Structure formats: C-alpha cells, structure tokens
Structure 1
C-alpha cells in the first residue's frame, strides 16, 4: 500500500477531509475520509483511509478520534488498519459492512440518531431501496455539509483515460449526478424517491463526495438536478 502525502483539508468550522489515491480494477481513483469534531471535542470519522505517520499526527492535533463509521457496504476496506491505529475508537457500520468484517466483533451497527454518541449533531440518512449499495448519507447541520458515498458523484479535474471511459458509461463527469451503475441497483423506486425528498429538504451548503470533488457552488440546485431522475 503506497503511503499518501496528501494533507488534511479544512472544509468548514470543525470539518476536515483527507483524500487518498489508489487503484481499483486498473483505474487510478480517489476516496476521501471526512472528520467532524463533536461538541465534546472528540472526532467522528466517515469512511476510513490509510494514514501516514504525518497524517495521523495532524489528525491527533485536531482531537481524539473516538468514532469510525463505514457508511456503506461498498466502502469499508480501510476500516481495519484505521481501527488498529485507534483501538480506543468505537466502530460502526451498516448491516452489509458488519457481514463483511467478522474479524471486527467490536463493530456495531450504526445506531439511531437519538441514541448515538453524535445525537443532535449529525443526522444519518439510510438510502432505502438500494440494498446492494447499503449506503447511508450524513448531514452535519452546524456546517450544512452533506456527506455522500456512491449515491452522488461528480468527477472533476485531470482524470486518467480509463476513468474518463468509465464515466462515459456511468455519468458524473463535471456534473453532480446519480451514476447509472447505482440506478441499475434500485429495487424499490418509491423508497428511493422518499429518500431523495428527504435530502432535498435539508439546508445543504456543500456536498462532500467520497470520490474526487466537493460541491460548494449552488449545492441545492445541483442536488435537485441530480435527484430529479426520480421525480
């Protein structure tokens, strides 16, 4: 595993992100871990990435990492190494993630918002109707940040030829959208429509995407355009 030299990026007050480049099926792509400081000073991490010693030291300066969340059944592979770095942290995942990590018996299913350690500070939005994805979106009201995994994608900037070819099939190049690969996985359109309406009701100021970009220009308009496929 190649050590990353990326630095933590301040996204908003109490919100940071770190990108990690890796290869998947021959494509060079990026993923992102988002960290939020809770009112007790502890840190909540969304979607683990590997950390270099320098990245871990920078993270530790922000506060103690006490909560690590694997937000979907498709994004969990870097949870074990992060858990080894932070054995005191609580691990949470969707039902699909728990099934894939029997070696992590300490991992819990993501609890309801009202009884979670982040109650009143973060809102977990399960994406119902797409069981294979088994994704949760997260909203941080204090910063207006919506964190998405695969349901929403927008790839910007210089991209390799294999990635551009892939995006030609799935969509999401320079435009916020629900990829065609995700649309094909829908089993209950009404449930997905209800989730889309819930997302549109939030006062979103930015969309932090797991892959590649962060949308902070006209986020609500672009969200509505992306989700309009289920109108």
Structure 2
C-alpha cells in the first residue's frame, strides 16, 4: 500500500525476511518530479524497490510514469529484477559493484559518485570509503528531503526477537542511529568523513530511510548526531604527532 508523505513523495512499506530468522521493516520511496514528459505525464523515481503487486503498480501509475529505478547500494537489489520487468522502459541506476551480484540478469547504469540526477531535480552523493556497500544518498530540494538506504536506521518495532537483538548489538535499536557494522565496512575513514560532511551541507529537513521511521523535522541536526563516528576522525597516535 502506498503512503503519501507529501504531494511529491510516497513510500511503499513491507517486511522482508533476512537470514537468522530476522524480519526487517523495509521501505521503497517514490519521488514525483516537477517536469513531466512529452505527454505531460509526471516522471517518477523509484528508489530501492520492494515486491510490487498489480494493485500497487496501478496506484503508482496514477502518480505518473516510472522513468528511473534506483538500486542505491550493493544490498538493495533483491527486488530490482521484478521492478525492471514491470517497467521495462525505465532507466535503471545502480551502485557500482552490484554487477557481481546481479550477473547478466539485470543491466544498469552505474550511479555517479556525486552530482545532479533525474533532470537536475535531485542530487546524489556516494558515501566513500566503504566500497563493499557503495551507499548512495539522494537529496530532493523541492521537498527538502534526504533519502538513504542503510546509512542510518530508525527502527522502533519489528516482529520476532532476532532483529531487535541484532539491532541492540549494533547500537541501532529504537533510535536514529548508524549501525556499528559501518565500522567494519569503512576502509577509508577520511573519505567517509568527507562524504558525510558533504551530505550534511544539503538543506534538508526530512529524512526517509529504507529501514525505520521517517524523521519529519530537524532531520539534518539529528543525522549529524547519528553520524558522529563517521564524521570524526581518530586522533593520530602520540608518536606520530609533532611538537613545536
């Protein structure tokens, strides 16, 4: 079922099953751009697609035409093939590295590391320094919304006990937080820190993530706090410091 956030922003929510009995709340995001196509039909961006049935597809069609399908990192690809089959004329953009998981099943254009996208109505920034994930985040100035996938979680409820236990272990349960798993994924702290600072320069007030509750206000300040580890580099060892 589609959920309207604003007149240009909708979400589709479901629960996906992961290993170890975990059931993760998940969200796809749909952004309607202000510039329509030649027919005047609104153009849509489908971010991180989930399983979409015929009824939901008809609801999406009432919003406009899916012009772009986005797989924003190397984990959010499970339902990409189904979305591409449903909208075969859409352009498919994916995180570099996904080709190793998708094989020949789905062809896509690699997302750029940064810059304007979707007729210039949105912008993208990759979180550098963690190539195995290749997380890309997106800014929609028209609604002052930042759209992320796994950069942060904000999960306050989940079925079963496996996911709550896991999120407690990685310090990301019942709060807006960055999973401690990032500390294993990041191989270049300086590059990751610069990416985070670049994202925080955008003027957003709403944060929509793939897993957890949407943050409707003061999102930039809350995200800055959630990204404290990523933004702050460790001090060099005492032996490496110079004295005056």
TM-score under structure 1 normalisation? 0.91
Per the TM alignment, residue 113 of structure 1 is displaced from its structure 2 partner at its CA by 6.4
Partner of 1:144 in structure 2?
144
Counterpart contact for 1:10–1:17, Cα < 8 Å: yes
Cα distance in 1, alignment partners of residues 106 and 184 from structure 2: 32
Per the TM alignment, residue 132 of structure 1 is displaced from its structure 2 partner at its CA by 1.2
**Length, aligned pairs only:** 224
SS in 2 for 1:220: helix
Counterpart contact for 2:68–2:92, Cα < 8 Å: yes
Partner of 2:157 in structure 1?
157
Counterpart contact for 1:98–1:108, Cα < 8 Å: no
Partner of 2:17 in structure 1?
23
In the alignment, structure 1 segments of 5+ residues that lack a partner are 1-6
Partner of 1:62 in structure 2?
63
Answering whether residue 7 of structure 2 is matched by residue 13 of structure 1, we say: yes
Counterpart contact for 2:129–2:192, Cα < 8 Å: yes
1:141-171 deviation per Cα after TM superposition (whole angstroms, max 9, x unaligned): 1001111111111111354311111111111
Per the TM alignment, residue 220 of structure 1 is displaced from its structure 2 partner at its CA by 2.0
In the alignment, structure 2 segments of 5+ residues that lack a partner are 37-41, 233-244
Counterpart contact for 1:44–1:68, Cα < 8 Å: yes
Counterpart contact for 2:158–2:164, Cα < 8 Å: no
SS in 1 for 2:139: strand
Answering whether residue 122 of structure 2 is matched by residue 128 of structure 1, we say: no
Q: State which drifts further: 188-197 or 90-99.
A: 90-99
Counterpart contact for 2:114–2:125, Cα < 8 Å: no
Q: Please, which of 11, 33, 42 is the counterpart of residue 28 of structure 2?
A: 33
Answering whether residue 102 of structure 2 is matched by residue 101 of structure 1, we say: yes
Alignment of 1:38-117 (within 5 A): 38=33, 39-40=35-36, 41-104=42-105, 106-111=107-112, 116=117
Cα distance in 2, alignment partners of residues 43 and 51 from structure 1: 15
Give the ranges of 4+ consecutive aligned residues of structure 1 lying more than 4 Å apart after TM superposition: 111-116
Cα distance in 2, alignment partners of residues 165 and 105 from structure 1: 34
SS in 1 for 2:29: strand
